[in-house]
Amino acid sequence: MTHDATEKTPPPAAAAGVADFSTSRLEAFSDGVFAIAITLLVLDLNVPDPGGLDGQSLASALAHQWPAYFAYLVSFLVIGIIWINHHAMCALARRVDRPTLFANLVLLLTVSVIPFPTRLLATYLTARHADAHTAAAVYAATMVAMSAAFSLLFLSFTRDARTLHTPIPAEAKRAARRRFGIGGVCYLAALGLAFVSPVAMLATHAVVALYYCFDQLAPARSTR
């Protein structure tokens, strides 16, 4: 016997058939995926094999792994900031429909795959040129896909005013799209940079993440 006072009853909006799902389970599932992806990154920090130190000290073996720490930090920051912005976006909606759930799934795909390019970059950042560029390009391409999926999800969330708490004015929508566009251009530029300097590519992503940390949806809200 549980003692949960909030038995669920059908809300009026559902009866109207506007949008079928509450945002709470979308948030719970997404939070789970974000939390796991961000925490799995730590599995890519390798402990040097005691038998493989070859007279080297552990301190210098650890220092030698700086690309792994760098990639870890940037990916952690990227996933963390996406989470904050996902949080802010979900707060705009009252209910979501199946297409939005699917668009959210596409975003989660690009987020949950991030540990793979991170590991790849950590391993090849200081390898011979061609391979470092390949690894950097895979990393940057993942971020381009993630950025595109986030924009798509924003469009899906906001395409039907009836699913929102308050309609977003056209001007605010345009401002938000402009900012998504700027972000997209930065990510594409970082992809180009991957073929010049993998380290600069990674640093660019850290900067873009910090830029996104400041509220991208602010104009959409301040004008309401």
Question: Which one of the spans 126-134, 140-148, 178-186, 199-207 is the region binding its own copies (CB under 8 A)?
Answer: 126-134
Identity of the residue, 150 or 185, whose beta carbon is nearer to its own copies in the bound complex: 150
Identity of the residue, 42 or 207, whose beta carbon is nearer to its own copies in the bound complex: 42
Number of residues that bind its own copies (CB under 8 A): 87
The residues in 131-170 that bind its own copies, with binding defined as CB under 8 A, are 131, 134-135, 138, 165-166
Closest residue by Cα to residue 24 from 93, 71, 75: 93
Q: Which of 95, 153, 154, 205 binds its own copies (CB under 8 A)?
A: 95
Q: Is 93 helix (H, G, I), strand (E, B) or coil?
A: strand
Q: Which of 75, 78, 103, 115 binds its own copies (CB under 8 A)?
A: 115
Q: How far is the CB of 218 from its own copies (least distance, A)?
A: 9
Q: How many CB atoms lie within 10 A of CB 195?
A: 16
The residues in 13-52 that bind its own copies, with binding defined as CB under 8 A, are 13-15, 17, 20-25, 27-29, 31-43, 45, 47, 50
Query: Taken in order 169, 175, 178, 183, is the CA torsion positive or negative?
Result: negative
Q: Is residue 76 part of the contact set for its own copies (CB under 8 A)?
A: yes
Q: Residue 179 — φ and ψ, nearest 5°?
A: -65, -40
Q: Which of 64, 66, 116, 207 binds its own copies (CB under 8 A)?
A: 116
Question: Which one of the spans 142-150, 177-185, 197-205, 208-216 is the region binding its own copies (CB under 8 A)?
Answer: 208-216
Alpha-carbon gap, residue 38 to 158, rounded angstroms: 27
Q: Is 21 helix (H, G, I), strand (E, B) or coil?
A: strand
Q: Is residue 188 part of the contact set for its own copies (CB under 8 A)?
A: no
Q: Residue 83 — φ and ψ, nearest 5°?
A: -60, -45
Structure tokens at 15: 């009866």
For residue 164, the 8-state DSSP code is B
Q: How far from chain centre, in Å, is Cα 216?
A: 14
Identity of the residue, 109 or 185, whose beta carbon is nearer to its own copies in the bound complex: 109
